[in-house]
Amino acid sequence: MYSLAIAREVPTSLSNAVTMPDNSSSSSNNKSNINYYRAKIEHSNYLQVLRKYIPVLCLPPLDELPDSMFVEDTVVAIGNKAVITNPGHISRRQEVDTINTVLQHQLGMDVTDMRDINNKNEEYKTGIATSYCDGGDVLYTGRHLFVGVSGERTNYEAISILQTGLDIEVIPIPFKQRVGALHLKSIITHIDEQTLLVPNNDIGNYVIQTMFNESSSNYDIIRLPNHATLSCNVVAVNTNSGQGGGALLAQLSNENDHKTRTILQEVANERNIQLEFVSLNEAAKCDGALTCCSVLLNI
């Protein structure tokens, strides 16, 4: 059971966050239209809903680091073990320092720092890191640890560090950012340990087929419409009990998307899961989604 979530306040520099250059949903025009105050309100609402189901430790903003509200990318944790990542984009690597301090010294977790294993050399300083990983590429379903490997935000060299640091087998899922998804969890997340949520399109088909080919166990697959990829990124809070319960935080790409809303509500009802719809529309303008803004810990 998850016992704590970590989040971080919205930085004033959010409009300078790194985005995919070919992603129309996060074009430079959309980025320039990011409303900081609206982003803060949306983020506050997100945390308010999350706190209904789990305590939240929200860290102060790092205004000099535009992507810092997306704490998911800084750490991968299972139980008391955590791996501090070395984010794929060099501009994001200072984000991990305070997360490391919180996990190791405040929470007493068993922490492996990818940067320490990686490079105590000049390569790290110039951005040519041996191993790098964004937490948004890591999907832990409760049974398997899948890691999306794009070569841009996460590479194969990070796999062994994750396996050793978390003491679990890692199943790599190769994909390229050119498919229009920044991270693996931009495409697929889990509802519970038996159920995955994925869009009904080519990239969704590819990811599911690769997962089935590489893992020994099957999953139930819930398909959302092709246009609802953003809604496939959900936060599942303590839904893996096997007896129902817990909560699912979801976002609609369009408030009038009644089909997606109905599918998610039926799935939640069947599993006795509380469904909460929240919006992070400003964060979405720079490729942010619901899971990006929190790290769930079981400590």
Q: How confident is the model at residue 27 (pLDDT cuts 50, 70, 90)?
A: very low
Q: Say what the pLDDT of residue 152 is.
A: 87
Does position 183 have pLDDT exceeding 70, yes or no? yes
> Is 183 part of the annotated catalytic residue set?
yes
**220 with 267: CB under 8 angstroms?**
no
Q: Say what the pLDDT of residue 265 is.
A: 98
Does position 212 have pLDDT exceeding 60, yes or no? yes
Q: Name residue 139's amino acid.
A: L
Average pLDDT, rounded, for the chain: 91
Q: What is the CATH number of the domain that holds 117?
A: 3.75.10.10
DSSP per residue, 211-252 = HHHH-SS--EEEEE-GGGGGGG--EEES--SSS---EEEE--
- For 10, 16, 225, the CA distances from 34, given in Å and listed in that order, are 12, 10, 26
Could you read off the pLDDT of 242-297 as tens digits, one per residue?
Answer: 677 899 999 998 888 999 999 999 999 999 999 999 999 999 999 999 999 999 99
| Mean pLDDT computed over 37-47 | 99
| Mean pLDDT computed over 24-36 | 63
Candidate list 133, 232, 286, 292, residue with the active-site label: 292
Q: How confident is the model at residue 29 (pLDDT cuts 50, 70, 90)?
A: very low
Angle at the Cα of 157 from the Cα atoms of 199 and 144, rounded to 5 degrees: 45
Does position 200 have pLDDT exceeding 50, yes or no? yes
Q: Which two tokens stand for residue 27?
A: 């074009």
Residue 159 DSSP label: H
Is the full-model pTM beyond 0.85? Answer: yes
- For tokens 């948004």, the residue is 136
DSSP per residue, 46-82 = HHHHHTTTS-EEEEPP-TT-TTTT-GGGGEEEETTEE
Does position 184 have pLDDT exceeding 90, yes or no? yes
- For 72, 86, 118, 139, 202, the CA distances from 134, given in Å and listed in that order, are 8, 7, 15, 11, 23
Domain that holds residue 177: 4-297
Candidate list 183, 190, 232, 286, residue with the active-site label: 183
Name the domain count of the chain.
1
State how far the Cα of 293 lies from the Cα of 87, in Å rounded to an integer: 15
Could you read off the pLDDT of 82-100 as tens digits, one per residue?
Answer: 999 999 999 999 999 999 9
Does position 28 have pLDDT exceeding 60, yes or no? no
| Mean pLDDT computed over 55-60 | 98
Nearest C-alpha neighbor of 48 from the set 276, 238, 286: 276
State how far the Cα of 259 lies from the Cα of 290, in Å rounded to an integer: 20
Could you read off the pLDDT of 100-147 as tens digits, one per residue?
Answer: 999 999 999 999 999 988 765 455 555 556 899 999 999 999 999 999
| Mean pLDDT computed over 147-154 | 92
* Residue 147 burial (10 A CB sphere; 0-12, 13-18, 19+): buried
